[in-house]
Structure 1
Amino acid sequence: MAAATGGLVLTAVSPAAADGKVVCPPDGGGDCQVVVTVPGQPGGGHPGGDGTKPGARECVDTLQNVKVPCYLPDLGWWSPNCYYKAMVPQPPAGDPAWEGHKPGDGAVYDAYCPDEGRPVQWRATPPPGAGGGVDPAELAAEAVKRLPIDGPDIGVAPSPGTTGVVGMPVWLWNRTSPRTWGPALASASAGGVTVVATANVWKIQWDMGDGHTVTCGAGTPYKASYGAKESPTCGYRYTTTSAGGEGEVFWVTATATWDVHWAGGGQRGDLSTTRSSQVQLRIGEVQVLGQ
Structure 2
Amino acid sequence: MFAPTGAAPAPVDPATVAQEAVDQMLLRGPAIGITPKPGGKGVVGMPVYMWTEKGAETYGPNTASASAGGMTVTATARVTKIVWTMGDGKTVTCTTAGTPYKAEYGKKPSPDCGHRYNVPSSTIPSGKFHVTATSTWTIDWQVNGVGQTGQLTEIRTSDVDIAVAEVQVLN
Which band: TM-score by shorter chain?
0.7 to 0.9
- 1:275 is aligned to 2:153: no
What is the alpha-carbon distance in structure 1 between the residues aligned to residue 61 and residue 118 of structure 2?
A: 37
Structure 1 residues 233-279: Cα deviation after superposition (integer angstroms, max 9, x where no partner): 11100111212535311111111111111112632111222211111
Partner of 1:155: 33
Partner of 1:105: 5
1:190 Cα deviation from its structure 2 partner: 2.2
SS at match of 1:248: coil
Hey, which bits of structure 1, 4+ residues long, moved more than 6 A?
none
Partner of 2:99: 220
- Among candidates 4, 9, 14, match of residue 136 of structure 1: 14
1:187 Cα deviation from its structure 2 partner: 2.2
Structure 1 residues 12-33: Cα deviation after superposition (integer angstroms, max 9, x where no partner): xxxxxxxxxxxxxxxxxxxxxx
- 1:262 is aligned to 2:141: yes
Structure 1 pair 271–246 and aligned structure 2 pair: CA distance change class (3 A): farther
What is the alpha-carbon distance in structure 2 between the residues aligned to residue 276 and residue 189 of structure 1?
A: 29
What is the alpha-carbon distance in structure 1 between the residues aligned to residue 64 and residue 101 of structure 2?
A: 33
What is the alpha-carbon distance in structure 2 between the residues aligned to residue 257 and residue 167 of structure 1?
A: 29
1:191 Cα deviation from its structure 2 partner: 2.6
1:158 Cα deviation from its structure 2 partner: 1.5
Partner of 1:177: 55
- 1:237 is aligned to 2:124: no
What is the alpha-carbon distance in structure 2 between the residues aligned to residue 104 and residue 143 of structure 1?
A: 30
Kept in 2: contact 1:148–1:185 (CA 8 A): no
SS at match of 2:79: strand
Kept in 2: contact 1:150–1:179 (CA 8 A): yes
Higher relative CO (Cα under 8 Å, sequence separation at least 6) belongs to 2
- Structure 2: segments with no counterpart, 5+ residues: none
Structure 1 residues 34-82: Cα deviation after superposition (integer angstroms, max 9, x where no partner): xxxxxxxxxxxxxxxxxxxxxxxxxxxxxxxxxxxxxxxxxxxxxxxxx
Which has the higher Rg, Structure 1 or Structure 2? 1
User: More deviation in 256-265 or 216-225?
Assistant: 256-265
What is the alpha-carbon distance in structure 1 between the residues aligned to residue 6 and residue 25 of structure 2?
A: 35
SS at match of 2:21: helix
| Matches for 1:174-213 after TM superposition, within 5 Å | 174-213=52-91
Kept in 2: contact 1:188–1:196 (CA 8 A): yes
Structure 1 residues 74-120: Cα deviation after superposition (integer angstroms, max 9, x where no partner): xxxxxxxxxxxxxxxxxxxxxxxxxxxxx93242xxxxxxxxxxxxx
What is the alpha-carbon distance in structure 1 between the residues aligned to residue 119 and residue 161 of structure 2?
A: 15
CA RMSD across the alignment: 1.9
SS at match of 2:17: helix
SS at match of 1:247: coil
SS at match of 1:243: helix
- Structure 1: segments with no counterpart, 5+ residues: 1-102, 108-124, 127-131
What is the alpha-carbon distance in structure 1 between the residues aligned to residue 140 and residue 60 of structure 2?
A: 12
Structure 1 residues 160-195: Cα deviation after superposition (integer angstroms, max 9, x where no partner): 111111111111111211111111012222233221
SS at match of 1:225: helix
